[in-house]
Structure 1
Amino acid sequence: MLRKVLLALLLVLGPVSAFAATMYISDELTVPLRRGPSNGHKIINAALPSGLPLEVLGEDKAAGFTQVRTPNGTEGWVPTQYLTSQPIAKDRLAAANKRIEALEAQLKSMRENYQDVRGARSEIESRAAQLEKENQRLQAELAEIRRVSATAITQYEENKQLKADNASLQTRVTQLTDEVQDLKRNVMLRWLLSGGGLVLLGLLLGAWIKSRPKRSTWA
């Protein structure tokens, strides 16, 4: 069935050049590589294996042969009916299996990453809740500190004012004490001056009395 499909495609495509293309030995059987485009030419390689990639060098449509080069550099002719433009089913299946394995590994990794992300998200949410509680507690502590600080500041200002008033009173007391001392000194000085004046007055009075002429009692 595969060969019929390939032949139908070749008939439809007509004499289109296939140079520089890559063809594959189909998975029907092993194919001999010949020196020329006929079954009468000498066989170079008796059994090219299925799935072997061949570089197309030319084609003899009338003879039904295609000139190819093998991966090791050997050139020859093979029947065109045994060539296919795609890798054989076995190789495609192997490639598909590898691709499936890669996709399954990728899917597994994505699932694991998704689980990790879910776990990380749950952990982040839990941590966020803890931080929110911690923030509320700190806010309450900060409010209490502010209240206490405000009271302390008020008391500090009051103490500062009391100290200032006390210092002012101390200064006033010192001034009053100095004034009292000055008054005492002034009073003592006045008493001294008054006493000295009286003594002086007494001396002057006594001197005046003595200086007066005495009257005779016989006159």
Structure 2
Amino acid sequence: MIRRWLSVALIAMSCQAFGLQDTSNLEASSSHYIRDDLFVFMHAGPGRNYRILGSIEAGTPITVLQRNQEQEFTQITDDEGREGWVETKYVSNTMSMAEQLPMISEQLADSQASLQAAQQETTRLRQQLNEARQQVARLTKQTDEQTEEITQLSTKLDRADQDELVRWFTRGGLVAGVGIILGVLLTFIPKKRRRNDQWM
């Protein structure tokens, strides 16, 4: 039980210290809010002894008009146009959690949508990458096959050139041989005598 009371006291003191730290530089503007307590009383003057004009719920946006340093009260105008004084420790420069929650929820929804879109884009890019890798593998295989076919054709062409050269040399040799044989045979054929030679 004592620990519970000590915890409550510590929380209250930290809230009060936070309130004093947060309200040290209050200036006249409309960007102020009632801190996230249940509600605060609005007085007719800068003190608790002044008449209570009403209460303001936590998170209500207000306009700060002026501040009483001695009494630690701030003159404000609420969202309903009421003018009065509230304790400075309940005035904050930070937007209330009640107003921040929809904005945070919207930002969270946007972040989740962006994350989902990024995940879908990542999935699409991975699919494209896999397809590109498969296409590269197919092209590499085709290139290897074409290279092997070109090598085989080059080998066949070289052999065909060699065979053609052999054939030409063979034909040339045959022609030369036939020419030699004909030349030799022609030397053995007797020549006919001319008629003029017989009269003499």
Contact 1:65 1:77 in 2 (8 A): no
Contact 1:25 1:31 in 2 (8 A): no
User: Which structure has the larger Rg?
Assistant: 1
For structure 2, which runs of at least 5 residues remain unmatched after alignment? 1-7
Q: Do structure 1's residue 86 and structure 2's residue 68 form an aligned pair?
A: no
Distance (whole Å) between structure 2 residues aligned to residue 162 and residue 69 of structure 1: 120
Which of 101, 105, 108 is matched with 2:109 structurally? 101
TM superposition score normalised by structure 2: 0.55
Query: Residues 138 and 55 (structure 1 numbering): CA distance in 2 closer, same or farther, change over 3 Å?
Result: farther
Spell out, residue by residue over 1:181-209, the C-alpha distance to the aligned partner (whole angstroms, 9 max, x if none): xxx8xx98xx688679x5xxxxxxxxxxx
Spell out, residue by residue over 1:25-66, the C-alpha distance to the aligned partner (whole angstroms, 9 max, x if none): 3454598798x757979x9xx998864555656421334433
Contact 1:3 1:81 in 2 (8 A): no
Of all paired residues, the percent bearing the same amino acid is: 16
Distance (whole Å) between structure 2 residues aligned to residue 157 and residue 193 of structure 1: 53
Aligned to 2:143: 135
Superposition RMSD on alpha carbons, in Å? Answer: 4.9
Query: Residues 160 and 30 (structure 1 numbering): CA distance in 2 closer, same or farther, change over 3 Å?
Result: farther
Query: What amino acid does structure 2 have at the position aligned with 1:89?
Result: M
Aligned to 2:32: 23
Alpha-carbon shift at residue 148 of structure 1 (Å): 1.7
The secondary structure found in structure 1 opposite 2:149 is: helix
- Count of residue correspondences: 177
TM superposition score normalised by structure 1: 0.52
Show the 5 A alignment for 1:140-219.
140-158=148-166, 165=172, 198=200
Distance (whole Å) between structure 2 residues aligned to residue 3 and residue 59 of structure 1: 24
Distance (whole Å) between structure 2 residues aligned to residue 11 and residue 47 of structure 1: 21
For structure 1, which runs of at least 5 residues remain unmatched after alignment? 199-219
Distance (whole Å) between structure 1 residues aligned to residue 123 and residue 46 of structure 2: 62
